[in-house]
A = this chain, B = another copy of it.
Amino acid sequence: MEQRRADTIAEELEERIFDGTFANGDRLDEVRLADQFGVSRTPLREALQRLSRSGLVELIPRRGAFVRQPGPVELLELFEAMAEIEGVCGRLASKRITDAALADLHDANRRCMAAIEAQDPDAYYRENERFHMIIYQQSGNSFLAGEAQALHRRLKPFRRHQLRLRGRMAQSMREHEAIVEALEQGQADVAMQALRAHVAIQVEHVHSLMASLKSAAE
């Protein structure tokens, strides 16, 4: 018997919320799910509480657990928060980043470029993610890095859509290069503003966000 089923269950449930198996507002029936996972209610409830902490599930006392996809307003707020926090990470990183990390950023950018040439959005997304993670780490503040990572993760389903937009990958690529340059030269405010804008631009395409939101809600 393996240890700690609760977190594996939480992951699985999260996956199902992301992939749309559970729609917004759905009630997550404890007994049914427990049955489905072949466990008792105890570890399942534990998993639900964990999900409520990360915001995917709302736990209403004496009523149950409900899937809670962010609405338009909340989504905008999350993107804005992410833009701001990434900006902050960039500002701090500009003063603390190591040469090795700078080399890694260059490397990630090269791979991004290759992905664009290969017309491979998935590869691009993967390398793009690496790029951002490096910056989080190099902020030198593990708390902020953790927050940034959590937000990144939470907004993932909504970001993927954006890359499909015409020309977005190439544009994103240019922004990456400007960001690395600012970091390289220790230009704190330039790096901050560039990163903030790089994330905030996704809010510009709110309509496409709303579309993905609606499709997730049905």
Contacts and interface: CB of A to CB of B under 8 A. Distances in A.
A80 B93 CA distance: 13
A178 to B, nearest CB: 20
Interface in A68-105: 74, 77-78, 80-81, 84-85, 87-88, 91-92
A77 B142 contact: yes
Contact of A46 (B49, B80, B84, B144): B49
Interface of A is mostly: helix
A141 B46 contact: no
A80 B147 CA distance: 13
Given A49-B50, A50-B49, A81-B147, A3 B141 contact: no
Contacts of A4: 61
Contact of A77 (B77, B80, B91, B143): B143
